[in-house]
Amino acid sequence: MNYWLIKNEPDCYSVDDLKRDKVEMWDGVRNYQVRNMMRDDMKKGDLAIFYHSNAGKETGAVGVMTIAKEAYPDPTQFDPKSEHPDPKSDPANPRWLAVDVKYKKKFKRLVSLQEMKEVKALHGLRILQKGNRLSITPIKKPEFDKIVALSEK
């Protein structure tokens, strides 16, 4: 059982959108480190914190989702009309992967980035480190639990 932090710009797709849709294909990942983690380490049933990035005062952890389907070829890489087509990807050996995520819950309140920075137990989070740009990062169970606990305060 692994734990993750998955970030996204809420203008693009927010926790409210996931609440409405219940299950969503998490596509558009075009970073090799993230792809490798999806391929090698993401298992069905894993839990993930939903994090809103680039959202001003609303930046932070907003909810929980589960991995509903393990990595499979991301169809958007072959769609010229998608946001991130990759003409160099070979359909016989797709370069990019997607997973399905399922809505679990929306936090009663935002756990802001600033608040997470002030909590010692969360200092190991890669999301808090300068220059971190990975859209999906592994976290530890105590970190996951701490963020959930903060949301219930």
| Chain contacts with DNA (rule: CB under 7 A) | 7, 9, 31-33, 53-56, 59, 113-114, 127, 130-135
Q: Given the complex with DNA, which of 1 and 81 has the nearer CB atom? A: 81
> For residue 44, what are the CA distances in angstroms to 61, 68, 89, 96, 151?
21, 5, 26, 18, 24
Question: 95: helix, coil or strand?
Answer: coil
Q: Given the complex with DNA, which of 98 and 113 has the nearer CB atom? A: 113
**Beta pairing partners, 99:** 26
Q: Given the complex with DNA, which of 2 and 53 has the nearer CB atom? A: 53
Q: Given the complex with DNA, which of 9 and 41 has the nearer CB atom? A: 9
> Measured from the CB of residue 28, what is the shortest distance to DNA in angstroms?
8
> Measured from the CB of residue 105, what is the shortest distance to DNA in angstroms?
21
Beginning with the edge strand found earlier in the chain, give each strand of the sheet holding 136-139 in spatial order: 23-26, 97-112, 60-73, 47-52, 3-8, 136-139
> Measured from the CB of residue 27, what is the shortest distance to DNA in angstroms?
13
> Measured from the CB of residue 44, what is the shortest distance to DNA in angstroms?
24
> For residue 142, what are the CA distances in angstroms to 2, 3, 56, 62, 63?
12, 10, 27, 17, 16
> Measured from the CB of residue 131, what is the shortest distance to DNA in angstroms?
2
Strands (E), 36-132: 47-52, 60-73, 97-112
Q: Given the complex with DNA, which of 20 and 33 has the nearer CB atom? A: 33
